[in-house]
Structure 1
Amino acid sequence: MNVLMWYKRDLRVDDHPALTFAAGLGRVLPLYVAEPDYWALPDTSARQWDFTAEALADLRHDLAGLGWPLILRTGDAVEVLSRLCRQNAITRIVSHQETGNAWVSARDQRVGDWARSAGIDWVQIPQSAVIAENSTTAPSFQPLPGVEPGDIPPARALRMQSDPCPHRQTGGRAQAYAQLGSFLEHRGAGYLRAMASPLTAERACSRLSPYIATGVISARHIRQELAAKRATRPGGAWGANLRGFENRLSLRDQFIQKLKDAATFEPRAGCVTSGALMEAWAQGQTGFPFLDACMRYLTASGWLNFHARAMLVSFATYYLRLDWRAVGHVLARRFTDYDPGIHWPQVELQSGIADIDRMRVINPVKQGLEHDPNGTFTRRWVPELASVPDQFLHMPWVWPAAQSVLGRRYPEPIVDLTTAAKEAKAAISSLRRDTGPKPRRTRPAPFGQLVLDL
């Protein structure tokens, strides 16, 4: 039997249930489809594709070491799959079950309809499935020869806009394994204590989230390495830090489920999707130094710790009254670890859409004073405030010489925090009185991409 193995968010060879299953069926053709329509969506970006392209190059190298090609095609998935199946007498397609956005769900529906009409058996296997006892290692296989491999297209070939991200992590298995190794060797020793501040979280967190999101490394492999580390009985605070990390890894798994249609939620009255406030927030020009530093850091690195992510959502949706969906799209494009099944439930939660019984109105000045008390992080990313004394850094508008900086090199605050917070709370309270509490979605505790700190 000729089998097509369709890669999506599972760009690895080891611990791959779908690949193991496909290898046991016959001759296998591994395929990845770069879909221009997907990469034109409002929650995708060139930085995400660049990371994915690096992972694909690494995957191609790993497969080549096993004597297996990775076939790359650009185009519509149904058209690509149909053509390859017809040309290579393929009767079965194997892939993992993907949790994606509405576009992905619709794409998979089209693929399913085509497969049934063409007499093709499409088998979708959960990423966490156990296919065989040795599924944690690369399977043996029979390649399907004679197919042109194709090139990995650059972002511009997918008609994507330029998206500079100078401090972005590099994609690929080697990088993922290196991050896991250094985290378990020494970086994770201060994990729980350091995750709250962007100043320390960059080093203390595992930084595995983009690799997990693209499937370069499996959660099971990470758990195996955690178990091996625990078996050495490390001293100090290692035990608590390892348990904390594993708890967050488990909670991430709980979030990976099919998304409900986000369109069922309407924006709050008065919310806007664009304009000066949205632009100031997205560019890190709000006049609140710590908040702006976090946004600029995210833009430059593609990653941010949970507390800062939650603050960005809260400020945009409560203080600025921006539409939560537009806010979610901006952040989704910035995150190299974007995973729809985690991102959207968390944006809904942090903005009060999924749970209006709890208001998460986070004060950016208070966050700055708590998590960057010496101003080291803020000064790095908001250099316009170099002349502002330390005691005024997080509230430069109260500095006696504020007018030498504000409105010139750095903006005045775009809202009054006290007034905006009161108005947001009053609006939510009015919504509760008028409609009653929204039914809460059945979800685990509020942990996920915005709080996972992986």
Structure 2
Amino acid sequence: MLQVVWFKRDLRLYDHRPLTEALARGPVICLYVIEDEYWALADTSQRQWDFIRECLQDLHLELQFRQGTLSVARGDVVQILDRIYAECGRFCLHSHEETGNLWTYERDKAVAQWCRQHDTVWREHAQMGVRRAGNDRDTWASHWQKWMSQPCLGAPEHIPAFSAPGSLPPSQWPQQMHPHNRLPCPGRQPGGRRQGLDILQSFLNTRGEFYRGSISSPLTAEDGCSRLSPYLATGCIGMRELVTCLRQARARSRSVRWNTSLSAFESRLWWHCHFIQKLEDEPEMEIQNLHPATNQLDREYDPYMMTAWQEGKTGWPMVDACMRYLIHHGWVNFRMRAMLVSVATYPLWQPWQPVAHWLASLFTDYEPGIHYPQIQMQAGTTGINIPRIYNPTLQAQRLDPEGHFIRRWVPELRSVSNHWIHQPWLMSQRQQREAQVVIGEDYPMPLVDFSQASRQAKARLTAIRDDNFRQQANDIGEKHGSRKRGSRKAGPRMKQENKKAREAGQMSLF
């Protein structure tokens, strides 16, 4: 029988169980579907498509080298499966399980229904240790370790795949996909497995030595972080492959510093899957507050404040520098992501959903399973995490003490002295003239008084925390809390687990 391998966010041949099993069963079509509805969503963007298009080009070349071909079709997946069924007859469908956004969740349910109606077997396989919803969280940590310890499957040497009806040659793959979000991203990482493997090797051989101490400051994070997140998010590199390479590197570790950094990185890979499991267990987390009592917070959308935040014009230099850096690169380090969310949802008091969509569209490493649980954690709507309100001035003083990062990305302040670079609105008119910047004209005043707005935000959060709030929080912790240390129930250990999650579970985790 014909076998159809549906590539989604697994754009590789190495350690690809659906492909390996399909090749053992019959002739194969390697299918990727460009879905126009997906590429018009608020959390997708042109920069993401540009990255994926490069990944597809790389995958196409890999298949050609193995006497195969990548069938790229455009349209609705169900309709494309209908076309294959009509022209080729019955087939078996193979794919990896996907924990995507709500749109892909509903899409997969529609595919499952089509398979039932057409008596078609759909074989799905896990690819990162995340289990389908309904499993006991108490055994999740041991499951993850067992899954990661299994040997990786090699890439098949010969893949005699043939084209699906209606597939597009590479010359006809669309260049422009997103109808609205087409912000230029000149600093974006290039897509493709070969690029990802080069970055992996540079991390394991040189850059990773100082990983543990360099991931917080935007001055050092660009080189100090692994920079593997977009390749994991698109599946150019598999999670088990990465863990295997990491453990091999640790086994030949050259120093205590190397071993400490690589150990810290592996811990973050565990947290990576831990957060994706949260969205797998509760897909509505993309749009609904995890703790129902936080619906009372009543954050109101303010288009003026949101636009200023989105454009990097809040009046807080570190916030604006990070947003402009993110727009340029499609990536920013985890602590600065957390700060961007915190500023938008606490002192600016904006609803987290549009904040989440905007940031998701800017991230070339957008991973829904990390993104939405992390956004809610930073916005204070999980009920199981102590709210963290990042003071952008203190963050700047700590992480960019001499203002190098700020001056590069907020050139309006390039002549401001170190003394005022973090709080330029405090300069006198004479000092502003000397610095060649007029606050309120050349660079904005802060949108709100941070101290006052933060106190108001804390008061609103405190007002909803009663006994019923805490009971619901315990229930949420029981469903979604970490069991890394083996604790079975939320109860008395939940505070300890929450502390570990706050320390390790930061935005993007890399």
In structure 2, do the counterparts of structure 1 residues 343 and 44 end up closer, same or farther at CA, with 3 Å as the change threshold? same
CA distance in 2, matches of 1:43, 1:34: 16
Equivalent residue pairs, number: 453
CA distance in 2, matches of 1:421, 1:381: 26
Paired residues of 1:356 and 1:432 also in contact (CA < 8 A): no
In structure 2, do the counterparts of structure 1 residues 8 and 246 end up closer, same or farther at CA, with 3 Å as the change threshold? same
1:223-257 deviations in whole A, cap 9, x for unaligned? 22222322323125101001001111122122223
Structure 2 residue 208 is matched with structure 1 residue 195: no
Q: Which residue of 2 is the match for residue 430 of structure 1? A: 463
Paired residues of 1:99 and 1:340 also in contact (CA < 8 A): yes
Paired residues of 2:7 and 2:30 also in contact (CA < 8 A): yes
In structure 2, do the counterparts of structure 1 residues 392 and 50 end up closer, same or farther at CA, with 3 Å as the change threshold? same
Of 155, 159, 179, the residue aligned with 1:137 is 155
Structure 2 residue 283 is matched with structure 1 residue 260: yes
Of 225, 249, 261, the residue aligned with 1:229 is 249
TM-score using structure 1 length: 0.95
Structure 1 spans left out of the alignment, 5+ residues: none
Q: Which residue of 2 is the match for residue 104 of structure 1? A: 104
CA distance in 2, matches of 1:228, 1:356: 36
Structure 2 residue 314 is matched with structure 1 residue 281: no
Q: Following TM superposition, by how much is the alpha carbon of 1:133 offset from its aligned partner in structure 2, in angstroms? A: 5.7
1:325-340 equivalences under 5 Å are 325-340=353-368
1:335-374 deviations in whole A, cap 9, x for unaligned? 1110111100000001000126612111000000000011
Paired residues of 1:2 and 1:144 also in contact (CA < 8 A): no
Q: Following TM superposition, by how much is the alpha carbon of 1:146 offset from its aligned partner in structure 2, in angstroms? A: 7.4
1:41-440 equivalences under 5 Å are 41-128=41-128, 135-138=153-156, 140-144=158-162, 147=165, 149-152=167-170, 153-157=173-177, 159-257=179-277, 258=280, 259-262=282-285, 263-265=287-289, 267-355=295-383, 358-400=386-428, 401-402=431-432, 404-433=437-466, 436-437=469-470, 438-439=472-473, 440=476
In structure 2, do the counterparts of structure 1 residues 431 and 151 end up closer, same or farther at CA, with 3 Å as the change threshold? farther
Paired residues of 1:343 and 1:449 also in contact (CA < 8 A): no
In structure 2, do the counterparts of structure 1 residues 356 and 316 end up closer, same or farther at CA, with 3 Å as the change threshold? farther
CA distance in 2, matches of 1:78, 1:374: 56
CA distance in 1, matches of 2:399, 2:366: 24
CA distance in 2, matches of 1:322, 1:287: 17
CA distance in 2, matches of 1:245, 1:431: 37
Structure 2 spans left out of the alignment, 5+ residues: 130-146, 483-500
CA distance in 1, matches of 2:97, 2:240: 16
In structure 2, do the counterparts of structure 1 residues 402 and 416 end up closer, same or farther at CA, with 3 Å as the change threshold? farther
CA distance in 2, matches of 1:215, 1:366: 37
CA RMSD of aligned residues (A): 2.1
Moved more, 333-342 or 150-159: 150-159
Q: Following TM superposition, by how much is the alpha carbon of 1:143 offset from its aligned partner in structure 2, in angstroms? A: 2.4
SS in 2 for 1:429: helix
Structure 2 residue 21 is matched with structure 1 residue 21: yes
CA distance in 2, matches of 1:449, 1:282: 21
Moved more, 314-323 or 217-226: 217-226
Moved more, 234-243 or 261-270: 261-270
Q: Following TM superposition, by how much is the alpha carbon of 1:120 offset from its aligned partner in structure 2, in angstroms? A: 1.3
CA distance in 2, matches of 1:448, 1:89: 47
Paired residues of 1:78 and 1:110 also in contact (CA < 8 A): yes
In structure 2, do the counterparts of structure 1 residues 317 and 164 end up closer, same or farther at CA, with 3 Å as the change threshold? same
- Supply the AA of the counterpart residue of 1:322: Q
In structure 2, do the counterparts of structure 1 residues 158 and 384 end up closer, same or farther at CA, with 3 Å as the change threshold? closer
- Supply the AA of the counterpart residue of 1:232: R
CA distance in 2, matches of 1:250, 1:356: 19
- Supply the AA of the counterpart residue of 1:443: G
CA distance in 2, matches of 1:146, 1:197: 48
Q: Following TM superposition, by how much is the alpha carbon of 1:423 offset from its aligned partner in structure 2, in angstroms? A: 0.4
1:378-424 deviations in whole A, cap 9, x for unaligned? 11000000121111100111222247421121101111011011100
- Supply the AA of the counterpart residue of 2:378: Q
User: Sequence identity, in percent?
Assistant: 41
- Supply the AA of the counterpart residue of 1:234: R
CA distance in 2, matches of 1:406, 1:105: 47
In structure 2, do the counterparts of structure 1 residues 449 and 31 end up closer, same or farther at CA, with 3 Å as the change threshold? farther
Paired residues of 1:209 and 1:337 also in contact (CA < 8 A): yes
Paired residues of 2:377 and 2:385 also in contact (CA < 8 A): no
CA distance in 1, matches of 2:506, 2:67: 36
Q: Following TM superposition, by how much is the alpha carbon of 1:140 offset from its aligned partner in structure 2, in angstroms? A: 4.2
CA distance in 2, matches of 1:142, 1:426: 64
- Supply the AA of the counterpart residue of 2:176: R
Q: Which residue of 1 is the match for residue 481 of structure 2? A: 443
Q: Following TM superposition, by how much is the alpha carbon of 1:276 offset from its aligned partner in structure 2, in angstroms? A: 0.5
